[in-house]
Structure 1
Amino acid sequence: MNFYVPIGSDEPYQYVFAPPDGVAHNNLGSETHPVVVHDVRGREAEYFLDKNGFQFVRWPTTEKAFTDPEAIKTKYYAEVEALLKSVTGGKRVVIFDHTIRSTAVTVVPGPRRSAVTETLDNLGARGPVVRIKPLEPSESCHSRARGLTTARPRCRSTSTSTRPPQRASRASTDTSSRVRIINVWRPIAHPVAHAPLALADWRTLPRAGTSLVSMKLVYPDRVGSTFSVRYSPGIRFHYLADQRPEEVALIKIFDSEEQAGRARQCAHSAFRDSGSPPDAPTRQSIEVRAIVFDEE
């Protein structure tokens, strides 16, 4: 599995847009470490968002191919909202985007490419990320939650409130109510064999020090921050072997409510499973990012 490693002595950074002439896009290095990823198949009920930072839920979908962007935003987003409300008890859900990924994007075309795979390529599907994704700091997530609910009308929101849509609800701007950012990850078309998703147990993730390294994110109008994850032998990773399309992984990205023992984030990455059958179908998946509010 690939982890962050520093290059030189400068503070790590990454430009979110084209950098100035003569400036590197980032100064982030990467190193690969062998990691044992534990299969939770048969023990899915032991893992929860608030304990581990991730959770597996059986939640079938009416969508099969995920090749129609409008159907995804209207039908599938509604299913995701219902799922998140059911699992978390949240009163309001705002979905701000989704990403489709396929291992076919990064391999040579061959007999394992299906008609669905070809269509996903045409839709701009990305390849799986085989490096531990950075963790976002609390202030960044609070800012995102406020900004997306007040300044981005393209976000889909469901609520029983009768307020006009242009008026922000108390939960969308008041950080005194609990706010969570949760990603909803689902395989498309068939079980996952190649590049399954590894999820780090929050309880084993170092909170500070050498394993979580602050990194600058440089935007055109501001400088944000995130945390890159360095290798630590104590981090314990889990996955659901042969995860099927009706089996959804919920991944906690942020939780505004701090309590002792409660998971706040989940480091995660695709990984290369040496035991995957070489002739298995290419991995296809959809990941929806959502904000869950405990209040209307």
Structure 2
Amino acid sequence: MQSSLYYIEKTANLKQEKAFSTDFTVDHVEGAVDQNATPDCRQVTVNAIQDPDDFQLDVHGFCVLHGQTHLDHEGVYRNKASVQDAYYYEIEAILHEAFPQYSRIEAFDLTACTPLPHPTFSSKLTYLQVRKRDVDFPDVVRGYRKEYEQPSSIAHCDWSKNGSLKVLHWCFPGNESYWEGKRFDMLNVWRPLKQPSDDWPLAVCDYTTVDPDHDIRLSDAIRRDRVDEVCVLHYNEKHKWYYLKDQGVEDLLVFRNADSHGERARAFHAAVHNPQAQGPPRESVEVRLVAIY
């Protein structure tokens, strides 16, 4: 399908200063800006994945797994605490079976929801992230995300190599011995909450088409309580984008955001408008995990 997504322009100011953006408005601060990078809207072809076996996590940065989970669709809205641990366990089990090279896989998320204790890592902060597209999206003003997180149409990876270390320190306080000196991956598992889903699907970029030396830029994502380091993408006509057409709840899109050494394939991703969509506004759930070798 033909759609569009946002890259970041290679503007002159980024030669002297690091890119940044905020997830809140700064209108109350005189002279402040909420970002110093210029969005670059591009028309792209987003290809439907015909054969999931054609894509491998370690080559393309993403893959597709089929896995049955029992997440209560309504429960994620009524009481996240009552359903999230069971869902995390199911996702971790699916990944352990698919990727036996990992010695340990721990699910977490960093969206602004209520921190909940986890029985594995002591003092672990875990979250269940749900996105429910507002009928006004994409015209929702940035910084006013209403009740639920909205899809992100900017091509990005959730963290950089250094950013992933900061996340682990923040999310697993006092547990540095579990990952220090070890190799690890930061993974996402994304799926719709209802099926079939064709509204604003998640598109992933084949990493073999990305030029790491020229296409990728580090950016500070300034939150209300911390600063994360993420990666954003500059346009390259060689990029190839893919999505799962009519993705079902058992179709798990698994992709790598970062790794401890900055050497592995990862998947830049963005939500894209589907001009042929006939279903209701997108509802999706994603789990972020650290997978330790």
Under TM normalisation by the shorter chain, which class is it?
Answer: 0.7 to 0.9
2:167 pairs with 1:144: yes
Letter in 2 for 1:248: L
Secondary structure in 2 aligned to 1:269? Answer: strand
TM-superposition CA deviations, 1:146-183 (whole Å, max 9, x none): 442234xxxxxxxxxxxxxxxx37433x23x2211101
> Match of 1:48?
56
2:206 pairs with 1:201: yes
Partners of 1:284 and 1:92 lie apart in 2 by 29
Secondary structure in 2 aligned to 1:272? Answer: coil
Q: Rate the CA distance shift 1:220–1:130 in 2: closer, same or farther, 3 A.
A: closer
Secondary structure in 1 aligned to 2:254? Answer: strand
Partners of 2:107 and 2:228 lie apart in 1 by 22
Name which of 58, 74, 83 aligns with 2:94.
83
> Match of 1:282?
281
Q: Which residues in structure 2 correspond to 1:1-296 (within 5 Å)?
A: 1-5=5-9, 9=13, 11=17, 12-15=19-22, 20-41=29-50, 43-65=51-73, 66-67=76-77, 68-89=79-100, 90-97=102-109, 98-106=128-136, 124-134=147-157, 136-151=159-174, 168=175, 170-172=177-179, 174-175=180-181, 177-209=182-214, 211-218=215-222, 225-256=229-260, 262-263=264-265, 265-277=266-278, 280-294=279-293
Query: Which one is further off, 3-12 or 65-74?
Result: 3-12
Partners of 1:193 and 1:275 lie apart in 2 by 8
Secondary structure in 2 aligned to 1:104? Answer: coil
Gaps of 5+ in 2: 110-127, 139-144
Partners of 1:188 and 1:222 lie apart in 2 by 29
Q: Is the 8 A contact 1:128 1:270 kept in 2?
A: yes
Secondary structure in 1 aligned to 2:38? Answer: strand
TM-superposition CA deviations, 1:226-268 (whole Å, max 9, x none): 3321111111111111000111111101122566xx41x2100
Shift of 1:21: 3.6
User: Which of the two has higher C-alpha Rg?
Assistant: 1
Q: Is the 8 A contact 2:135 2:281 kept in 1?
A: no
- So what's the TM-score if we normalise by structure 1? 0.76
RMSD over aligned Cα atoms: 2.8
Secondary structure in 1 aligned to 2:219? Answer: strand
Secondary structure in 1 aligned to 2:83? Answer: helix
- So what's the TM-score if we normalise by structure 2? 0.77
Partners of 1:15 and 1:198 lie apart in 2 by 23
Letter in 1 for 2:20: Y
Question: Paired residues, what number?
Answer: 256
Letter in 2 for 1:185: W
Secondary structure in 2 aligned to 1:81? Answer: helix
Gaps of 5+ in 1: 109-120, 152-167
Secondary structure in 2 aligned to 1:76? Answer: helix
Secondary structure in 2 aligned to 1:288? Answer: strand
Q: Rate the CA distance shift 1:56–1:220 in 2: closer, same or farther, 3 A.
A: closer
Secondary structure in 2 aligned to 1:36? Answer: strand
TM-superposition CA deviations, 1:255-290 (whole Å, max 9, x none): 22566xx41x2100010122223xx22211001111
Partners of 1:222 and 1:71 lie apart in 2 by 27
Q: Rate the CA distance shift 1:70–1:222 in 2: closer, same or farther, 3 A.
A: closer
Q: Rate the CA distance shift 1:201–1:24 in 2: closer, same or farther, 3 A.
A: same
Letter in 2 for 1:287: E
Secondary structure in 2 aligned to 1:189? Answer: coil
Q: Rate the CA distance shift 1:22–1:64 in 2: closer, same or farther, 3 A.
A: same
Q: Rate the CA distance shift 1:105–1:125 in 2: closer, same or farther, 3 A.
A: farther
Q: Rate the CA distance shift 1:142–1:45 in 2: closer, same or farther, 3 A.
A: same
